[in-house]
Amino acid sequence: MNDHRPAGLPERIRHFIDGEEVDSLSGRTFEVLDPVTNQPYATAAAGQAEDIDRAVTAARAAFTDGPWPAMTARERARVLFRIADAVEAEADRLAELETFDTGLPITQARGQARRAAENFRFFGDEIVALHEDAYRVPGAQVNYVVRKPVGVAGLITPWNTPFMLESWKLAPALASGCTVVLKPAEFTPLSASLWPRIFAEAGLPRGVFNLVGGIGEEAGQALVDHPHVPRISFTGETTTGQTIMGRAAANLKGLSMELGGKSPAVVFADADLDAALDSTLFGVFSLNGERCTAGSRILVDRAIYPEFCARYAERAQRIVVGPPHDPATEVGALVHPEHYERVLGYVELGKREATLLAGGARPEHLPTGNYLAPTVFADVKPDARIFQEEIFGPVVALTPFDTEAEVVALANDVRYGLAGYVWTNDLKRGHRVAAAIDAGMVWLNSHNIRDLRTPFGGVKASGVGHEGGRRSIDFYTTEQIVHIALGEVHTPRFGAR
Ligand code: NAD
């Protein structure tokens, strides 16, 4: 029994379709575990194709017959702002649920409501400020663009920071006038159960938001296969993304794919070493290392490599691993025993492939639960699997380099290209190396701090398409061009001779 079970936990987690909480038509369910005891705490409805069809039918009806797509941008924005306020008002409850369900340290879960609320505010502002283009051919034509919501958007999300990542898709989809079917991750369905009340109280019309829980290969796949869902926004593993892209071809869907990463953090000898240490520790050990943009390969100038390794390992050993609800905890419990086993597999592999400097095992004071001491490997060769593969846990690889050319090659020598971090006080080199890294997002002398207006997404195996700001609105809308003739139109006179 987890002593820090939040009060009022639901015993059953159900779908939300057309304004009602419902079970699966088949009655099928699955059990949800908490990561501290690994015991089931709730039974969740396991959506099948018929449940997805029911949700899509409701979302289609809300799109075709309901007020939402036709409302003015300002009217929709007002609802989004009320959602943002309601999300913030739920901050404590959300943090409590997220910590319990995901194992995220409570201090880090507390920021999630603010970030989720900000997504709704941002896209409320964005949609009101949006303009449509017009093109003039003097004396001949005026051509104007009509931007339309695409219809039902299918949103498929992962278990790391689940509520916040759901908001990242829900906010632009709703702002654009789409109706949605959300399929949250099966490991962490708890916080998504807050959405129906928040949306209803904010005045979102019935049927606009639908949620179907369940297993990826069942509910997720049915959403991808559904012919009346023209867009799928997916965040998750690269291999899942590949499956989805293949299946989506049958209905020629628009896809946004935010996938895995193995991002480099490059530390040059002239960097502010204290700042680089703080940032590269935070970059891989915050959110339990379960973050897509984690700087999980630290490439260090050989001139400072011994000192960096020693200081890094010493700090990593002092990171407080503990129960997620404890405010002193810096690294909590990994989300699920299956994921924990996978991460431990990489740790054992790393012990054969490289030099273990810190961690490498369950902390002694935590005999149960999915806990792993922050694990630091040094002298990791570029062909090692722990250098190449996404681990998605509190595990980091340190590798030395001698020259700028070498470090750029090392940074790019993986299949992924999500993020990159560069630490140097040499302005020219900083910009040069940032530009040379094959990644969708680079931070210079900083860890990952987002500006919501900027493109978010990866290259190579880290994704296809970028979201963020206007790009998200582009994804959930389609542009239609209307041409108007202003003068006489020269028309070849077929059949007139
Ligand atoms: P996952 O791919 O296992 O699951 C993600 C979602 O897809 C879940 O809801 C799951 O049920 C669903 N799913 C699984 N199989 C499916 C299928 N065949 N058809 C349709 N849906 C299916 O990923 P995860 O383990 O939940 O999340 C961790 C991964 O997400 C990591 O690789 C991480 O890097 C990535 N991630 C990427 C970003 C980004 O923005 N690039 C952000 C967060 C997480």
- pLDDT tens per residue across span 432-442: 999 999 999 99
* Nearest protein CA to atom 34 of ligand 1, as residue: 260
Contact between residue 394 and residue 285 where contact means Cβ atoms under 8 Å apart: yes
**Predicted pLDDT at 4:** 81
**Predicted pLDDT at 3:** 67
Residue 91 predicted with pLDDT over 60: yes
Task: Name the band, by pLDDT with cuts 50, 70 and 90, for residue 6.
Answer: very high
Which class does domain 12-259+462-481 fall in? Answer: alpha beta
Model confidence pTM above 0.85: yes
So where are the chain's domains?
Answer: 12-259+462-481, 264-444
Residue 418 predicted with pLDDT over 80: yes
Residue 1 predicted with pLDDT over 90: no
Nearest Cα to 405, choosing from 309, 275, 298, 266? 266
User: Looking at domain 264-444, which of 3.90.550.10, 3.40.50.150, 1.40.20.10, 3.40.309.10 is its CATH number?
Assistant: 3.40.309.10
Distance of CA 203 to the CA centre of its chain: 26
**Residue 395: strand pairing partners:** 375
Nearest Cα to 96, choosing from 105, 86, 85, 88? 105
- Which of ligand 1's atoms lies nearest the C-alpha of 260? 34
Mean pLDDT of 200-212: 98
Task: Name the band, by pLDDT with cuts 50, 70 and 90, for residue 330.
Answer: very high
Task: Name the band, by pLDDT with cuts 50, 70 and 90, for residue 155.
Answer: very high
- Which of ligand 1's atoms lies nearest the C-alpha of 186? 11
Residue among 229, 238, 240, 296 to mutate when testing ligand 1 (max atoms within 8 A of CB):
240
- Which of ligand 1's atoms lies nearest the C-alpha of 239? 2
Nearest Cα to 266, choosing from 307, 310, 298, 295? 298
Q: What residues are in contact with ligand 1 under a 6 Å CB criterion?
A: 156-160, 165, 183, 185-186, 216-217, 220-221, 224, 235-237, 240, 243-244, 258-261, 292, 390, 392, 418, 458, 463
Rg, Å, the chain Cα set: 24
- pLDDT tens per residue across span 231-288: 999 999 999 999 999 999 999 999 999 999 999 999 999 999 999 999 999 999 999 9
Mean pLDDT, the chain, as a whole number? 97
Tokens coding 23: 């079970």
Residue with the two structure tokens 């690294």: 331
**pLDDT above 70: percentage of residues in the chain:** 99
Q: Give the strand order in the sheet containing 375-378.
A: 355-358, 375-378, 395-401, 297-301, 264-267, 419-423, 441-444
Nearest Cα to 295, choosing from 395, 193, 164, 438? 395
195 Cβ contact list (under 8 Å, min separation 6) = 16, 166, 170, 182, 209, 211
Active-site annotation, residues: 258, 292
Residue 166 CB: number of other CB atoms within 10 A?
Answer: 25
Mean pLDDT of 474-482: 98
- Which of ligand 1's atoms lies nearest the C-alpha of 161? 43
CA distance 187 to 153: 22
* Nearest protein CA to atom 35 of ligand 1, as residue: 236
Q: To 10 degrees, what angle do helices 91-102 and 162-175 make?
A: 130
Residue 359 predicted with pLDDT over 60: yes
Task: Name the band, by pLDDT with cuts 50, 70 and 90, for residue 217.
Answer: very high
Cα(457) to ligand 1 centroid in Å equals 14
Q: Give the strand order in the sheet containing 463-464.
A: 20-22, 15-17, 209-211, 179-183, 152-156, 231-235, 254-258, 463-464
Cα(157) to ligand 1 centroid in Å equals 6
Task: Name the band, by pLDDT with cuts 50, 70 and 90, for residue 60.
Answer: very high
Task: Name the band, by pLDDT with cuts 50, 70 and 90, for residue 2.
Answer: low
* Nearest protein CA to atom 38 of ligand 1, as residue: 292
- pLDDT tens per residue across span 174-190: 999 999 999 999 999 99
